Structure 1
Amino acid sequence: MLYGIFNRNREGISNLVVLFFLLFNASVALSQYKIMPLGNSITVGKGDPNSTPYVGYRYDLYHLLINDGWNFDFVGSQSDGNPNQFDPDHEGHSGWKAQDIDANINSWLNQSDPNIVLLHIGTNDVSSMEPNSETIAEIESIVNKIYTYNSSIAILLCKLVPRKEQPDNEHIINEELNNLIQQLYTTKKNDERYNIYLVDQFAAFKANDNWRTDYMVDNVHPSSAGYTVMANTFFNVLQGIGFPQFTLTVLVNPDGAGTVSVDPDKRKYIYQEQVTLTAIPSGNNQFSHWSGDIDVNSANPRSITMMRDRTIVANFINDDDEFVSVPNTPTGPSSGNTGEELSFLSGGSTSSKGNPVEYQFDWGDGGFSQWGASSRKYSYGGAGTYQVRARARSTVNNDAISSWSDPKSVTITGESAFVLTVWINPEGAGTVQVDPQKDSYDSGERVKLQAFPNNPGDEFLYWSGDITTNYNNPIYIYM
């Protein structure tokens, strides 16, 4: 049972402020995903007589990801393909077996630092009649080394494409190795520490009864159509691995008053990707301000960071219209007590016509001030955390009203009411569910806290702050 620490404020009212910090492995705070195609000649793309130079599944997969809005880079020490048509980098090595990949994987990881690895290996082991028990041990060693290098790397482990029937039963050995790969995947997935996904290339080929003629050029290498099947199978898994991607919707108000340049202009953006917005007026219009999922201001161009889906509005006004700029964020105390008179100050607004302006405050508790001066006083009747905003209007044309300013947060404490403040460290790495979620709590009230990582590969570490360091999740505290 954990208890917070009580602090006495200047009026003797007990006020509890508990700071809890979460530590996550923020593994996907990336500007670009680095994808390593890893394997043997099938990764290179050999066998396809219609492909010179070799591209294999990599060409089709590249364009599938581009069309889906991915921001990525194929990485590896090898390069096969026309760089004017796609990214040709990879880590495919013709003739190599699992033991060869295992011997070199650490060097390649340090060189390329991938976020995603596409692993298709074992074909040459079967051709060399290597015992499957040794091959699967080497594949597991590869997986373990990737995990040890960076536990957040998404490992896409493939079941091998099928082989045509051969007198020495290599096709049967191939299927037996696939069964072991399935078992390895299940073991690692159940471990929960491994960010691993199964890519069943074997089943994708076998779904076509004519796979031998439609998808293969020899006993082991796919045709161009076979490599397309591999690309689609990889793509389907990549879409579901959970890397956050966000959409940006940009609107113009009023319609036709201007346009917005978006750089880069993409269907989807990844976590913390930077985007620059530039508002371009048309006709007799001029840019006024941004609004929507963004702090309201008139900076142009404007850079934003994508950490969620966002809708942003570029607001324009006609030269003949009067425009009142957004006032400053109110300043004033960040805390107080019920019944205490608090002073807040805004200001900074101007009229495009040079007319005087007046201000109104939104106190965040459902109350609003009358229009008037830029400084006001207010007292709250109940405990809680409130958001104080201000807006301005022309005293000559009362219809010319600005948008609301960014809010000022103020926490009000009442008699026998305690406030719980929860912080995330690092910011954006996760969320905390507070049950019950309230502005203030009674003495002795029990509260449940549960941490949830935001991104694949992140993990909750511990709680800290005004409690003894605690590794349980969830935990219960008493106010």
Structure 2
Amino acid sequence: MNRTLVGLGPIRRLALAAVLTACLLSATGPARSESSPGATRVMLLGDSITGSPGCWRALLWQRLLDGGYGDVDFVGTLPPRNCGGLPHDGDHEGHSGYRATGIADRDQLPDWLAATDPDVVVMHLGTNDVWRHVPNDEVLDAFTTLVEQMRDHNPQVRVLVAQIIPMAPANCPGCARQVAALNAEIPGWARSMTTARSPVTVVDQWTGFDTATDTRDGVHPTPSGDRKIADRWYPPLAAALAGGA
């Protein structure tokens, strides 16, 4: 027994032990969430826009709570990131620098799925593919591979796929045009992939997003950009949590 507790009565020992435990837990920083067994498991899948720090995830979590969707578990193999102290379930699958084509080619998603077992996947991928001038048809082929892997793991997975936010980095003058072209092809791709058991829902993250004010470098969102991203994800995610698409 801790020497601090020796000599104290049973009630005082229990009280002091509780205080010491709380202090130890607070010193470790934000912990991974523990949800109820029936919680809907949501994987937020993407690149640095999702994960570094991806503070739209915290805003989306708060919107879900405010909307009455408390029985949700954000899942991922990556740990929480600090978003100004805003409480949220920080587990995620936002891998900085990753391409959709790279994730598909390296067969990385199945391990992430096995570790997290999502019911819903919220996917914003393609930015790094465009940045590296990967042809759009190859990006969509990768999307197909990823959705098929999701269904191999869970035949009833619900998938939300972003028409990605605009990008205009200084070292990629053609990126803005390629993003627009990719986004134009995503709805047709999604229609070809959706099924009654596993709907694929397109979420427009592109319209109304201004790289001059909503990104800090032509790619990564500012707080105003994070707010727009969270606001666009919320309605379709709420519908998916309610069992629709």
What's 2:214 paired with?
A: 215
Question: Structure 1 residue 121 and structure 2 residue 125: aligned?
Answer: yes
Q: For residues 64-463 of structure 1, what are the structure 2 equivalents within 5 Å?
A: 64-70=63-69, 71-82=71-82, 85-102=87-104, 103-164=107-168, 168-189=173-194, 191-205=195-209, 211-241=210-240, 243-244=241-242
Shift of 1:97: 0.3
Shift of 1:204: 4.4
| Matched residue type, 1:75 | V
Structure 2 residue runs without a partner (length 5+): 1-36
Distance 1:202 1:104 in 2: 27
User: What is the aligned counterpart of 1:43 among 50, 56, 61?
Assistant: 50
Larger Rg, first or second structure (1 or 2): 1
Shift of 1:194: 2.8
**Partner-residue secondary structure (3-state), 2:202:** strand
**Partner-residue secondary structure (3-state), 2:239:** coil
| Matched residue type, 1:60 | L
Shift of 1:202: 0.7
**Partner-residue secondary structure (3-state), 1:89:** coil
**Partner-residue secondary structure (3-state), 2:96:** coil
- Tell me, yes or no, if the aligned pair for 2:42 and 2:119 is still in contact at 8 Å: yes
What's 1:31 paired with?
A: 38
Distance 2:43 2:222 in 1: 22
Distance 1:80 1:146 in 2: 23
Distance 2:38 2:189 in 1: 32
Residue by residue over 1:271-321, the C-alpha shift from the partner in whole angstroms, topping out at 9 and shown as x without a partner, is xxxxxxxxxxxxxxxxxxxxxxxxxxxxxxxxxxxxxxxxxxxxxxxxxxx
**Partner-residue secondary structure (3-state), 2:49:** helix
What's 1:475 paired with?
A: none
Shift of 1:232: 0.8
- Tell me, yes or no, if the aligned pair for 1:159 and 1:202 is still in contact at 8 Å: yes
Query: Which one has the bigger strand percentage?
Result: 1
- Tell me, yes or no, if the aligned pair for 1:55 and 1:80 is still in contact at 8 Å: no
- Tell me, yes or no, if the aligned pair for 2:212 and 2:218 is still in contact at 8 Å: no
Distance 1:113 1:228 in 2: 27
Report how many residues are paired: 203
Percent of aligned positions that are identical: 29
Residue by residue over 1:448-473, the C-alpha shift from the partner in whole angstroms, topping out at 9 and shown as x without a partner, is xxxxxxx569xxxxxxxxxxxxxxxx
Distance 1:182 1:109 in 2: 24
Residue 39 to residue 456, structure 1, CA distance change in 2 (3 Å): same
| Matched residue type, 2:81 | G
Q: TM-score when scaled to structure 1? A: 0.40
Distance 1:146 1:179 in 2: 23
Shift of 1:101: 2.5
Distance 2:169 2:58 in 1: 28
Residue by residue over 1:421-470, the C-alpha shift from the partner in whole angstroms, topping out at 9 and shown as x without a partner, is xxxxxxxxxxxxxxxxxxxxxxxxxxxxxxxxxx569xxxxxxxxxxxxx
| Matched residue type, 1:234 | W
- Tell me, yes or no, if the aligned pair for 1:151 and 1:195 is still in contact at 8 Å: no
**Partner-residue secondary structure (3-state), 2:122:** strand
Structure 1 residue runs without a partner (length 5+): 1-29, 47-53, 206-210, 245-454, 458-479
Shift of 1:41: 0.3
Residue 84 to residue 178, structure 1, CA distance change in 2 (3 Å): closer
Distance 1:89 1:192 in 2: 28
Shift of 1:134: 1.1
**Partner-residue secondary structure (3-state), 1:219:** coil
**Partner-residue secondary structure (3-state), 1:38:** strand
Shift of 1:164: 2.6
Query: Which one has the bigger helix percentage?
Result: 2
> Aligned Cα RMSD in Å?
2.1
- Tell me, yes or no, if the aligned pair for 2:48 and 2:54 is still in contact at 8 Å: no
